[in-house]
Amino acid sequence: MSVGYDHVDLIAMKKYGVRLGHTSNISSEVIAETTIGLLIATARRFFEANHALITGEWKDSDIFWMCGRSIRNSIVGIVGCGNIGISIAKKLNSFNISQLLYTSRGEKPEAKNLGGKLVTIDELVEQSDFIIVSVALNEDTKYIINRKRIAKMKSHAVLVNIGRGELIDQDALIEALRENRIGGVGLDVMTPEPLPLDNPLIKMTNVVLLPHIGSSSIETRTEMAVVTAKNIIAVLDNSAMTKEVQL
Ligand SMILES: O=CC(=O)O
């Protein structure tokens, strides 16, 4: 009952003739909503600000207290422009950003129509003020955000990951955050999940962590459950699944 199937041994499934269903595209919209929320919460320091309020640190202060960065007039890069990436791009369109960048195997007409420019991953990390990782995890994309690419990011760049934890070299990310080499990070996915409470990310003020709740709306989870049930029934009936992975 998920979009991604990186946690399934596809070779073994194929070898033993086990069919695999998933919930492709059902959750794209709600994951895109989560992404926008996480992007703003990270860029505008919502959790840090909330913590300041509840701990009595909210005082008459200087005009730049708790300032974050606007999304307006910024360059936003989306790594991976599948259904979720496109849905994020559509929502961002109303934010008056200055440029949308994206990576993909080839130009995507839908992204182009939204003003998106196809770039390489290295160009994207170098040029973006906000970087959103929304690509499927596989052998080609594992650690796509590696140490070298983290080093290329702008010092104020905000990185958001709603794909899978292993898309990012998390140790390199923690180092960059410790040394204030990037602006902030918003993660709905991380390594491992659940994240142990002694992980350094948990205590960092420039990090917003969510417990992999990208698709967690009642409506979406209900729809995912129904499709999963239909997929199971299809296997029992030896008929076509609603969403089947071609092994
Ligand atoms: O991460 C969520 C999913 O793959 O559905």
**What are the strands of the beta sheet with 184-187, ordered from one edge?**
116-118, 99-103, 75-79, 130-133, 158-161, 184-187, 207-209
The tokens describing 1, both together, are: 């009952």
Return the residue whose CA atom lies nearest to atom 2 of ligand 1: 2
pLDDT tens, residue by residue, 176-191? 999 999 999 999 999 9
| Mean of all residue pLDDT scores within the chain | 97
pLDDT of residue 60: 75
Q: What is the pTM of this model?
A: 0.96
106 backbone φψ class: left, alpha, beta (φ>0; ψ -120 to 50):
beta
| Mean pLDDT of the 119-138 span | 98
DSSP output for 119-186: --HHHHHHH-SEEEE----STTTTTSB-HHHHHHS-TT-EEEE-S-GGGB-HHHHHHHHHTT-SSEEE
Residue 217 Cβ < 6 Å to ligand 1: no
Residue 142 has pLDDT above 80, yes or no: yes
pLDDT tens, residue by residue, 74-125? 999 999 999 999 999 999 999 999 999 999 999 999 999 999 999 999 999 9
- Residue 5 Cα: closest atom of ligand 1: 4
- Would residue 212 show up in a list of annotated catalytic residues for this protein? yes
pLDDT of residue 3: 93
- Residue 22 Cα: closest atom of ligand 1: 5
